[in-house]
Chains A and B, each alone.
Chain A
Amino acid sequence: MLTSEGPSANTASSKLVLEHISKSFQTSSLTVQALDDVTLHIAEGEFVCLVGPSGCGKSTLLNIIAGLDRPDRGLVQADGETIAGPGPHRLMMFQEAALFPWLTVLGNVLFGLKLSNGLTAAERQEKAEYFLELVGLKRFMHSNVHELSGGMKQRVALARALAPNPSVLLMDEPFGALDALTREQLYGDIQRIWSQHRKTIVFVTHNVREAVCLGDRVILFSPNPGRIREEFAIPLPRPRDINSVDLARYATEITRVLKGYVQQTEVAG
């Protein structure tokens, strides 16, 4: 973890730079310090998982990277430029399938494509179909959203996020609402797509095993106030199987550390 003043030496090589980010929310009765002096650098093509209990600010951090929220203090940069708002280079995938029910599956994937400039209608169509094929749902492209299962919806959401060719993919507990079997399929899909398309992925989850299965690095957050407590490199070979013993070993260790922090804050609170 970097704590030096100003952008650090390796800033230039980082895809995403977050330095000394603080953010608090005012609710009707109290102020919540969602993020407190968080510094994180993410390299191009890296798969980083943010893990922590709910309320530790990991989703807030993702929203800040997406440009949907602004930090109270601190520096947020993508490709060396300060993030001032949402952009087509950083696309977000949400926990609930935030698919639009008034559009068909194809219409949903086209939505983001229509917002990125310089594509003809035919090119957009071709791209949309390509990414639906990639997630294995091309034959459902004329279906209505409500006709899909939860896992299929998240696949469409993934295709929708991938289609405008973002360099950064931000995923906010995208598999949280799915059953275990569907999740395992999607772990396979996301690893395959990541290795083919080499996106920088920031993935938020409260599931440690999931984080170890997917991430190059797992960043551990603790709540009240939201802070980065520790980070773990996961040097396991890919593709990874969530049920493998090696993976379980990492997950157990990280879970142990996480529990320590949660108990600490509970005692302190």
Chain B
Amino acid sequence: MIVRWLSASLFFLALLAAWHLAVKAKIWSPLLLPSPLSVFDYLRSAVEDGTLWEAAAVTVRRLLIGYGLGILAGLPLGLLTASSRWSQDTIGVLALGLQTLPSVCWVPLALLWFGQTESAMLFVVVMGTLWSLILATDNGVRTIPPIYTRAARSMGSTGLHTWTHVVLPASLPFLLSGMKQGWAFAWRSLMAAEIFVTILTGFGLGHLLHYGRELNAMDQVVGIMFVIVVIGLAVDKTLFAPIERFLHRRWGTGRP
């Protein structure tokens, strides 16, 4: 365990060192490539004056609400497309098509429909998450060995009970990877929305990134990118990783 930590830390230290050396070598203008130290300085000042916390809180709140709505709608719709031919041909095809649409494409529409409001942000996040969640759920349900449902039916399980006690738990590994993918898509969508749309109800990380670019403050741009990556990692390690470990232990899949 210590060895793992050490070797990983070494890797990231080496990455930082390489970055630092690249700046020292003055290959690129410091306007284009800020030094690690200036990025650190920016982050420290942003933490101290509270802007970073505020922006992160706004962004994470939007993410969680949008992602939650996406799951709430995506799970049942995915179960539906997997269970009826008709909904597969309609909702399934719709999901397949819209999933290929980059979420930034929803931004103009969201602006026209909802104006510069919180709803526009949420709309873009939900549109970015929903379709891939429907597809992942649908795929998960279709991949379950039919023997599970047969065994359950033979024991007297029917209808809703079969869905909640057999189909859903059996497709959990697929649902989880679908939810991870959905989370990544939610991030992408929200950043697109925040970078392109300025709204008065909340100033998110995307806005900080956008204004960093406007002001030519590359330390701010890189600093915010760093924060986004760290939040993404933290969520993965605290939210998804424990569930994943549990599933691997139960199913006996994957490496410990």
Binding site for B on A (CB under 8 A): 66-68, 86-88, 90-92, 94, 96, 98, 100-103, 111-112, 115-116, 144-147, 160, 164, 170
With contact pairs A88-B155, A111-B155 given, residues A96 and B169 touching in the complex (Cβ less than 8 Å): no
A146-B252 in contact (CB<8A): yes
- Docked pose: A91 CA to B166 CA in angstroms: 17
B150 CB contacts on chain A under 8 angstroms: 68, 92, 94, 98
Using A94-B147, A102-B250, A144-B250 as known contacts, say yes or no to A68 and B153 having CB atoms under 8 A apart.
Answer: yes
Q: Judging by beta carbons under 8 Å apart, are A87 and B156 in contact? A: yes
Closest approach, in angstroms, between the C-beta of B121 and any C-beta of chain A?
36
User: A96–B150 Cα gap in the complex (Å)?
Assistant: 12
**What distance in Å separates the Cβ of B146 from its nearest Cβ neighbour in chain A?**
10
- Residue of B155, B166, B249, B252 with highest tally of chain A CB at under 10 A: B155
With A96-B147, A100-B170 already in contact, the answer to whether A146 and B251 are too (CB < 8 A) is yes
Q: Is the CB of B156 within 8 A of A100?
A: no
Q: How far is the CA of A86 from the CA of B149 in the complex (A)?
A: 12
Total cross-chain contacts (CB, 8 A): 64
> Quick one: which of A100, A115, A147 contacts B252, CB cutoff 8 A?
A147
Given A86-B154, A102-B172, A146-B251, 7 other A-B residues pairs in contact with their CB atoms under 8 A: A68-B154, A92-B150, A94-B147, A94-B150, A96-B147, A100-B151, A112-B155
- Residues from chain A with a CB closer than 8 A to the CB of B155 are 86, 88, 91, 111-112, 115, 160, 164
Interface residues of B in 122-174 (CB under 8 A from A): 147-148, 150-157, 161, 165-166, 169-170, 172
A-B contact pairs, 19 of them (CB 8 A): A68-B150, A87-B156, A88-B155, A91-B154, A98-B150, A98-B151, A100-B148, A100-B151, A100-B166, A102-B170, A111-B155, A112-B156, A115-B155, A115-B157, A145-B252, A146-B250, A146-B251, A160-B155, A170-B154
**Which chain B residues have a beta carbon within 8 Å of chain A's beta carbons?**
147-148, 150-157, 161, 165-166, 169-170, 172, 249-252
Provide the residues of chain B in CB contact with A170, threshold 8 Å: 154
In the complex, the answer to whether B250 meets A92 with C-beta atoms within 8 Å is no
Listed residue (B152, B250, B252) with the most chain A CB atoms within 10 angstroms of its CB: B250
Q: Chain B residues with Cβ under 8 A from A160's Cβ? A: 155
Question: In the complex the two chains form, is B151's CB within 8 Å of A92's CB?
Answer: yes
- Find the B residue at minimum CB distance from A104: B250
CA distance A146 to B154 in the complex (A): 22
Q: Which chain A residues border B157 with CB–CB below 8 Å?
A: 115
Partner of B151, one of A94, A102, A144, A147: A94
Which residues of A are found within 8 Å of B161, using beta-carbon distances? 115
Q: Please, how many angstroms separate the alpha-carbon atoms of A94 and B149 in the complex?
A: 12
Within 8 Å CB of B170, what residues of A? 100-102
B67 to chain A, nearest CB (A): 24
CA distance A100 to B153 in the complex (A): 13
| Bound CA span A147–B152, Å | 22
A103 to B251, CA, bound (A): 9
Are B156 and A101 in contact, CB atoms less than 8 angstroms apart?
no
Closest to A87 in B: B156
- Whether A88 contacts B156 in the complex (CB less than 8 A), given A100-B148, A102-B169, A102-B170, comes out as yes
Chain B residue, CB-CB nearest to A101: B251
- A86 CA / B153 CA spacing, docked (Å): 7
* Pairwise interchain contact B153-A101, C-beta atoms closer than 8 A: no
CB within 8 Å for A144 and B249 given contacts A98-B147, A100-B170: yes
Do B156 and A115 touch across chains, with their CB atoms under 8 A apart?
A: yes
A103: which B residues are within 8 A, CB to CB? 169
